[in-house]
Amino acid sequence: MSNGLDTARRRFLTGAATVVGGTGAACAAWPFASAWQPSERAKAIGAPVEVDIAKLEPGARLTVKWRGKPVWIVRRTAQALDSLAVLDETVRDPASDEPQQPEYARNPHRSIKPEILVLVGLCTHLGCAPSYVRQGEGNLGADWMGGFFCPCHGSRFDYAGRVYQGVPAPLNLEVPPHMYLSDSRIRIGEDGGAA
Ligand code: FES
């Protein structure tokens, strides 16, 4: 009788241990699955990308990847901003009439905050990657005020990504949807505007 009881208890305890073991295995698997799935899904749908611009110096450029494309963030200097009005007569679409930017970037500096430029870094001709050429750099002539130069077929863009007249690229560089989470943090890929 005592033996039968022990056997029954042993069976119960063995069963309980198996259930606990199974639950433990499920618990161990869940954190991995929940951390892994959103990131893969997010990648597939082109989730927004957050960028810290706190250390971006005047004149410097940061590049991040969003939906497989390079996105540039440039902190423009006063000279870069001043050059925009001067080039209104030189560029093809000075007032950003073409839909190459969200409505909140349809202004003389094509950005939410004047000093911070956010652009997709792909030429609107055939998709090459233009170079960032500041005033005084490169061999683009004495009157080059700085901006972007596409080496593939020679298209030029100013410090707001506006395309020059007479070059192969037909449109201004694209401004992606973006928003400020704080003064130093931008989310690329989501409309919002200033923080
Ligand atoms: S791809 Fe840039 S000029 Fe042709």
151 lines ligand 1 (CB under 6 A): no
Do both 86 and 156 map to the same domain?
A: yes
Mean pLDDT, the chain, integer: 84
pLDDT of residue 195: 74
Do both 126 and 92 map to the same domain?
A: yes
The CATH number of whichever domain residue 115 belongs to comes to: 2.102.10.10
Do both 38 and 70 map to the same domain?
A: no
Residues 48/190, Cβ–Cβ less than 8 Å: yes
Give the confidence band of 194 by pLDDT, cuts at 50, 70, 90: confident
Instruction: Give the residue-averaged pLDDT of 177-185.
Output: 96
pLDDT of residue 192: 85
Give residue 66's domain range: 49-188
Residue 195 lies inside a defined structural domain of this protein: no
Do both 10 and 78 map to the same domain?
A: no
Do both 37 and 113 map to the same domain?
A: no
Which residues in the chain belong to E strands, given as ranges? 49-52, 61-66, 69-75, 116-120, 131-133, 147-149, 156-157, 178-182, 185-188
pLDDT digits over 19-58, tens only? Answer: 333 333 333 343 434 444 446 556 546 799 999 999 999 9
Do both 40 and 53 map to the same domain?
A: no
Residue 194 lies inside a defined structural domain of this protein: no
pLDDT of residue 34: 41
Q: Take residue 158 and report the two structure tokens written for it.
A: 């100013």
Residue 36 lies inside a defined structural domain of this protein: yes
CA of 72 to the centre of ligand 1 (A): 17
Q: Compute the distance between CA of residue 157 and CA of residue 131 in angstroms, rounded to an integer.
A: 10
Q: Atom 3 of ligand 1 has which residue's CA nearest to it?
A: 153
| Strand 69-75 relative to strand 49-52, pairing | unpaired
Number of domain units in the chain = 2
pLDDT digits over 73-100, tens only? Answer: 999 999 999 999 999 999 999 999 999 9
Examine the residue annotation and report whether 109 is marked as an active-site residue of this protein: no
Do both 135 and 164 map to the same domain?
A: yes
pLDDT at 18 over 80: no
Residue 193 lies inside a defined structural domain of this protein: no
The residue whose CB lies within 8 Å of the most ligand 1 atoms, and thus the one to mutate among 155, 156, 157, 171, is: 155
pTM recorded for the entire structure: 0.78
